[in-house]
Structure formats: C-alpha cells, structure tokens
Amino acid sequence: MSFIRISALFLLFLSLSHCAIDPGFSDIPEIEFVSFSKDTLIQNSLNTDSLFLTIAFRDGDGDLGSGDQSVMENIILTDERTGVIFDRFVVPEIPVSGISSGIEGEIIMKVFTTCCVFPDGTPPCLSPPAFPTNELSFEIQMIDDSGNRSNSLLTDSVILLCN
C-alpha cells in the first residue's frame, strides 16, 4: 500500500513541477494572426457589419491583462490602407497574470466595418461602379503592462464590399 502512495506522490510532484517549467518566452509580448471569422464585410460608416479577429499571444513575465486600470487600450489595430489607427482594445483580465513562467493564449476581438477608400479621391462610403471592392487588412501591436511593445503583425485581407 505504501508503494502506491509513494508512486502517487511522485506522480503528483512530477505533474506540479511540470507546470512550473519556464517555457522560455520573452518578456516582450509576441503576437500572431490566427484568423478572421469571415472574409467579407459590407462597407458602412455605422456598425452594421462585423467580424471576429483572433490573435495568439505569449508573454514571458505574464503582465498582460492584469486588471490594472491605468493600462488603457493595449491592442492597437491600424488600417493598412490609410495608416490611421482603426481601433484599440483592452486585454481582458487574465487570472494568472504575473506568474513567472509566462502566459499564452488567444484573444478574440469584434471588429466593425468601415468605409471603402478609393484611389481616385472619391469620398469614402460611396459606391462608385469602378471600385466595387477594397482589400482591408490591419497592422496589430500589443503593449503589456510594463510598456513593452510586441512585434507588429499584418493580418490577412478581408474584402470590403463597396457597392
């Protein structure tokens, strides 16, 4: 009977020590584009269409989503067509924030539609027959609670239907 208890304690110790193994993540956040929930949006200046954008993240010191109210909007989306910030998001509170072995996971953000931008100077949100679509992609960057900026990534393109 004691052999079984010793074996069980040994297995428990191994499983706990395995959880504490440092995965070797950098203290600077790293992000990766995962997916869009769909590949088209209908243009509009109002929030009439949307999609979900998923990114993966990892951070070695785990200081993302700490719930610190002084950290505001730490995911930044920039419209690649214009170079203008499109939207900002706050990383939700992550209960294991601050652990020494780092954190990783995925974040899903709801992104609303926008207007088409036309190369001939036609005002946005119109429907000129010569330009039925736009390709919309985003540059994304994340900032952790210490102010470390992640890599910048470029998403795949979404087709913005202008008509």
> For residue range 106-117, what is the model confidence (pLDDT) as tens digits?
999 999 999 999
SS3 51: strand
Low-confidence winner among 12-16, 28-32, 134-138, 154-158 (lowest mean pLDDT): 12-16
Q: What is the mean pLDDT of residues 123-134?
A: 94
Those residues with Cβ within 8 angstroms of residue 36's Cβ, 6 or more apart along the chain or in another chain: 51, 52, 53, 54, 155, 156, 158
Segment 55-97, tens digit of pLDDT = 999 988 877 776 666 656 889 999 999 999 999 998 877 765 4
88-38-64-23 Cα dihedral, nearest 10 degrees: -150
Only one residue has tokens 């994340």, namely: 142
Are the beta carbons of 28 and 149 closer than 8 angstroms?
A: yes
Residue 91 has what DSSP assignment?
A: P
Q: What is the mean pLDDT of residues 144-150?
A: 89
Dihedral sign for Cα 20, 24, 29, 35, please: negative
**Over 90: is that where the pLDDT of 42 sits?**
yes
Residue 132 token pair: 């039925």
Provide the pLDDT for residue 96: 59
Mean of per-residue pLDDT scores for the chain: 83
CA angle, residues 103, 59, 27, in degrees to nearest 5: 135
Provide the pLDDT for residue 104: 87
Beta-carbon-side half-sphere exposure of residue 9 (alpha carbons within 13 Å): 6
Provide the pLDDT for residue 63: 79
Global pTM? Answer: 0.79
Are the beta carbons of 1 and 120 closer than 8 angstroms?
A: no
What region, left, alpha or beta, does residue 19 occupy, with left being phi > 0 and alpha being psi -120 to 50 degrees?
alpha
